Each structure stands twice: as C-alpha cells, then as structure tokens.
Structure 1
Amino acid sequence: MIAAGNGNGMSKTGSGRRDRDDGGNVERAKEGSSRPVTMATVGRLAGVSQVTVSRALSDPSKVSPATFEKIRNAIEMTGFVPNAIAGALASRRSRLIGALVPSITNIVYSSMIQAFSEGIAGHGYQILLSETGFDPKEEERAIVTLLSRRPDAMLLTGIHHMLEARRMLMAAGIPVVELWDMTETPIDLCVGFSHVETGRAVAEFVLEAGYKNAATVSAGDERALRRKDAFVKEIGRRAGIDVTQINFVGGASLARGREALRILVDEQNFKGGAIFCSSDLLAHGVLIEANVRGLRVPDKIAVIGFGDQDFAAHVVPPLTTVRVDRTELGLTAAKAILARFDGEPPAGRVKDIGFQIIARQSA
C-alpha cells in the first residue's frame, strides 16, 4: 500500500553523481549518496511529473494503471518513502496511535499491547510506544511528546493522570482509551477491571479457605497498592485480622519476593498464613525463599500472586493467582478505537472485563 505524501518526502539513497537512463529522461541516485530521493526524483524515473506522482500517492484511481505501475516501480527502485507528516497535514490523519505503559519488559503490559497491535493490524495504523515507569509526571511528559506528533488516538495504562495531562488529552479531540483500570469518569473510553474488587475477592478467598493470619507483599505501583489496601481492609472488616504489610518502592522482582519473606519471618515474626503478593513475580520469589527455609506450602504458608503469567502454573507448587484476560483487554481497546475512527458510537464508555481467581496448589 502506498501512503500519501508530497515532494518533501525523502529516503536516503545513491551517490552525489547521478546516472541518466531511459533515453536521458530520468535520473537515479547511485548507492552511497547523502542526497535524498524526493517525489520529483520518482517522477523523473517514472517519466511523469511530480504532480502526477503526488496524485497517484494520494488516490491511485486518479491515474491510469500503467502510470501507477511506473510510479510504483520507481518507488521500489529508489527506496523512496513518502512524507507521512505532509500527508497527515493534508488528510488530518497521521496513522499513528500513541501508547503509554509503565514497563515494556513486564509481560502483563507487553502482552496487552501485543493484543492491541494485533487488533489494529491490517487497518494501516502504527503504534508509538512510550515507557513511563509509575511516575505521573513522566507520563505527562510522554503525553506532551506523543501529542506533538499528532497521533490519531491515545492508549493509556491506568486512570490516574496529572491534571494538565487530562486537559491536554481532552483538548486533543482524539479517541483516548484508558486500560487496566476502571472509572465512571474516563477521559473518553475505559477498558479494565476493578483493582479494589480484586483485593476484596482475594480476601474472601483467603477467609473461606480458613486462614487465620495474613500478610501482603506489594510493589510501589499505585494500582497494586489499591489491591493491597482493599485486601487489608476486607480481611480486617470480616475477620478482625491485623494484616502484616511489606511494601517496596518501585517494581517487583524475584529478589524482592525472597526478601519479603525473610523480613516477614525474621523481623515481623510471621508465624504462617496467607501471603497476597501484588504480582506473580513477587509470589514466585516468596515460594523460592519458602523452599530454601523448609516452609511447607500451603501447609505453613499460602502464597497468592496476581497476573497469571505463563510461569505461574509451572512453579513448585503451582501458583494460585488472579487472572486478567490481557488479550481481551488489548483487543477490546483496539475495537473501540477503530469504531471511533469509523464514526460509530461506542456501545458504552466503560467496559469491565472482570477477573478470575485461579486456585492452584500454593493456596
């Protein structure tokens, strides 16, 4: 597919000296040049005017099939790439979708973005991906940068943003989808699940399993802390249990999971019970440390993770965790944005995909 552009489009090719071809009517830059190939270069090689090339790129039906074939061959020979910025100015479409995630390496977010990418595949759009960490100010800076590229839509992780970031997104007048969370007042569209309800559901699971003591191990992600707080509050409300809490600043790791259990046992005098971790990675670290210490799981301690990552079912013992359908998240967001591009009214501004507790042998 050939994208629209104009004579300012460029692609590196050829040497500074040009060879004449086709009876002296066309030129082609030799390999090694720093001179750009422009739309005029393509026109000379195809034996047509620059205006004809521009017309063919914007709407192939405006030129004859034979002329279009000449232009297409010239583009292939030169490696010419049409100027997408100029095309966007003309069409008011950049064919870009900005996406912001806290961590590119975290499978929870990367698999969600992969599903979103698959959902828009074949529709002519590309993703501009930015990693923001868990800092709202860093997210705001990334939003400024992406909006300056005039994306056709924005995909955000979470619902809590700086006030100025919200203002900029609302003023942009483009579809905005907030993922991985729930709110009744989204910027535009929201696809996610309730982190508070997740924490409450895990608390209910722990109490129904008969555990009389509990602890939490959490990374510094705001959403993880909301799940943890809801778990602690529900355990306290329903059973009067004082939950021991280990909170880390920053992200999760196996080392931090191991360190958390060490602190619980050696410093907090944790005698056993259920440990709710904010991620499967932390939970896996807890399992490793429990094995090193000879603590039987789930007899002495029960371990519950979050995310149902690929390894969760294959650790020893298999990890009880909370599953969120990340594929459905990404695909639902893609469908919502594409529907907006097509002018279709949304079925609803908020889509709750829910969650599921997957009970395995660790609890």
Structure 2
Amino acid sequence: MPAAIAMSRVPDSMNRTPPTADSAIKPARRLTQRPTIRDVSRLAGVSRMTVSRALSDPDLVLPETRARVAKAVADLGYVVDRTAGSLSSRRTGFIALMLPTLTNANFAAVAQGLTEALREAEYHLLIAYTDYDMVEEERQLRNLLARRPEAIVLTGAQHRRTASRMLNSAGVPVVEIADLPSQPIEHAIGFSNYQVGRTAARHLIDKGFSRIGAIAASPGGAVTDHRGEERMRGFEDELRLSRQPTDWVLRHGTAPVSFHHGAEAIALMLERQDRPQAVFAVSDLSAVGAVMECQRRGIRVPEDISIMGFGDFEIGREINPALTTIHVDFRALGNRTGAMLLDMLASDTVAEPRIVDVGLTIIDRASVGRV
C-alpha cells in the first residue's frame, strides 16, 4: 500500500562544509585579462609568428621549439581565440555549461533552469559533457574557451591542474555547481555531497538498522564520480561516528552509475550470508536498479531489505514501493546560477567570490522500513 510522503529538513549541525549562505571568501583571484599570444611568445622566448605556427602547423617548427611553446601554453592557461578575426566587441552572447553527462535528469534540470534565467537577457548555452572523465573535461574546456563564452559554469570542484589554470586565466566569471568547495575557482552554487552521505546514514540509523550498506562506483583513474565519492565518505564517517560497522559499503564498477549498476551491486550484497538490512545508493538510478533486482529474486522491499537513494528522480517516485531519497532542487540551482551570472555580467566591476548553499531535503517513502 502506498506510503505517505514525509519531508524533513536536515539539521545545520550536520553540515561540515562552511559557509551555508552567500558569503565572501578569499581564494586566489582569477586574472582579469586572458593570456595572449604575445604572453606565450615572451615566456617561450620565440616570436609570435613562431607561436602561431607551432599551434596551427606544428610540423613546420623544430621539436625543441614546439616543446617550449607547449610548456608556455600550459603554464599560462592560454587558449586560442578563434573569434578574434570576426568579433568587433567582447560580447558573444554565449554561456558555457560543462556537465558530467547528458543522460541524468537532474543535470538536464540544471540546464533548463539556467536557460530559463538567461533567455530573456538573450544569452545562449554552449553545452559540453565529460562522461566523468577529467581528461575529457580539460579537452572540452579548451574547446569552449576558444569560442569566447562570457561566463563558464561547470559541475563539481575537482579539476586537473591545466584545467584549473585555464579557468583562472579565463577572464570571465566562473561558477562551479552541484558541490560546495571550500576554495572554489571563483563562485560556487550547490550543496554538500559529504552532507548527503551523512544525512542518509543518519536517517537509516535513526530507523533502527544496525547492518547498513551503501553502493557506488569505484573511484580512481581519470573516470571518477567525485561527488558520489564524497557522499560515500560522508556516509562512512557518520557510521563510524555512530559506532556502526562499514562492512557493507561497496564500491563497484565505473561511473556513471545506472540501473544495471545498482542491480549488479545489490546482487553481490544479497549473496552474502550476513546481508545488510538497509542500503543507500549514491544515485536513485542505482537504487531503482537495486529494488528491481530484489523483486526479481523474490526479496521484499522494505520487509526484507530497505533501499534509499539520492536525487529524487521521477522513476523513484513511480516505482512500487516508492523510493526514499534525498532531494535537491536542481532546476532552482540552475535558476540561481543564471541570476548570479546576469548580475555579474551587468556590472562593470569584478564580483566578490561567493558560495551559495541550496540545501537538501529527506523524502521518506515506502522503500525504507523500520526495525
């Protein structure tokens, strides 16, 4: 029988990521001017023509010279300006948006909210995605910057060194979303993924469970869901603080997670003699896959095992039993990002860096029972 939906706010005391409201911070300031080909030529000790040739037709340049130019480009975070010959002003009307995937409904909601906020001001999105690959993020960032966006929005706060240099040197507003880094590149709008994990563990502990598990993708290498791993870190820390074992925390497979990932991971747990009483999945996609696998095996949810997710995806609301989850308003996150950008782009001065916490909410549905 369907369960009533109860919504409860997460206590501020569980959030370890300060601050929780708009506030000024003091990270290293971004450069106000983009590096130029002249800067590269000076650093490399060669002429601008040689730099141009090394970038456009490298076979015409000696290997040693190419290496010096490449090092100068990397050190400065220089990006080729492909619009320099056609633009008479700095305004392009484009905002760059970098997402880890296009198949996640929450990231689609971010793009929708951002588009809604920017549309009336006649700004348009240039969207790229990385498949959770930091090398691909760097490549896509270089491509986006070459088209001179007026601002850059990208997901998360983990970047390779060269990507960070390009962002610091971009000369336009940079906003990192869906996370709350203590030292962002410039601005951040999101929520604490660490708090998500702690909140999920505390919810299951408060329900009376003592054998509590979690499932996520394995970290490591270029392809890593850093936000999912932060959720797992928070989950494990809350278990330890409550003197609960972490024996049933499972990292399995590679990002991005999916229904299939959840089915595979829960199958491994169910084969253990001491299987867990409750499981948190770092995404509703894995959680739904886990529920489906349990049903295929004749294991009742939540009577035999409780399952909880993150993201409040539509499918989690429609399956039976409906999925207990943690909700973040990703569309509103996109709206707030757009509003912040419009405010900054309308100003003649560089905005002070800000961190904005959009918060999160537990939605208690039928897939989690009580001991």
TM-score by length of 1: 0.73
1:224 paired residue number: 228
Q: Which one has a bigger Cα radius of gyration?
A: 1
1:40-63 deviation line (CA, Å, top 9, x unaligned)? xxxxxxxxxxxxxxxxxxxxxxxx
Question: Do residues 350 (structure 1) and 348 (structure 2) align?
Answer: no
The answer to whether 1:262 aligns with 2:260 is no
Alignment pair present for 1:144 and 2:142: yes
The answer on whether the counterparts of 1:102 and 1:157 sit within 8 Å (CA) in structure 2 is yes
* Distance in 2 of aligned mates of 1:141 and 1:263: 36
Partner AA of 1:262 in structure 2: A
Letter in 2 for 1:360: R
Partner deviation per Cα, 1:141-190 (whole Å, 9 max, x = no partner): 11111111111110100011112111111111101110000012111110
Of 95, 108, 127, the residue aligned with 2:93 is 95
How far apart are the structure 2 equivalents of 1:202 and 1:116? 28
- The one-letter code sitting in structure 1 at the alignment partner of 2:149 is P
Which is worse superposed, 188-197 or 269-278?
Answer: 269-278
Contact 1:304 1:319 in 2 (8 A): yes
**In structure 2, what is the equivalent of residue 310 of structure 1?**
314
Alpha-carbon distance, 1:250 to partner: 2.1
Structure 1 residue identity aligned to 2:98: L
The aligned length equals 279
User: Equivalent of 2:109, from 108, 111, 114?
Assistant: 111
Residue 123 in 1 paired to residue 128 in 2? Answer: no
How far apart are the structure 2 equivalents of 1:308 and 1:211? 22
User: Highest relative contact order (Cα 8 Å, sep 6+), 1 or 2?
Assistant: 2
CA contact (8 A) 2:83 2:148 kept: no
Aligned to 2:186: 188
Give the letter aligned to residue 306 of structure 1: F
**Correspondence for 1:5:** none
1:339–1:346 CA contact under 8 A, matched in 2: no
Matches of 1:88 and 1:117 in 2, distance apart?
26
Structure 1 distance, partners of 2:289, 2:354, is 38
Alpha-carbon distance in structure 2 between the residues aligned to 1:271 and 1:250: 24
**TM-score, structure 2 normalization:** 0.72
Question: Which ranges of structure 2 fall in alignment gaps of 5 or more residues?
Answer: 1-81, 219-224
2:4 is matched with none
2:11 equivalent in structure 1: none
Q: 1:140 to 1:255 in 2, by over 3 A?
A: same
From 312, 332, 345, give the equivalent of 1:328: 332
SS at match of 1:245: strand
Letter in 2 for 1:186: P
Structure 1: which 4+ aligned runs deviate by more than 4 Å? 84-88, 344-348
Question: Is the 1:336–1:346 contact (alpha carbons within 8 Å) kept by the matching residues of 2?
Answer: no
Q: CA RMSD in A?
A: 1.8
Structure 1: 5+ residue stretches without partners: 1-83
Q: 1:279 to 1:270 in 2, by over 3 A?
A: farther
The question of whether the paired residues in 1 share the 8 Å contact of 2:186 and 2:353 is answered with no
**Counterpart-to-counterpart distance in 2, 1:259 and 1:194:** 27
Query: Aligned equivalents of 1:345 and 1:175: distance in 2?
Result: 8
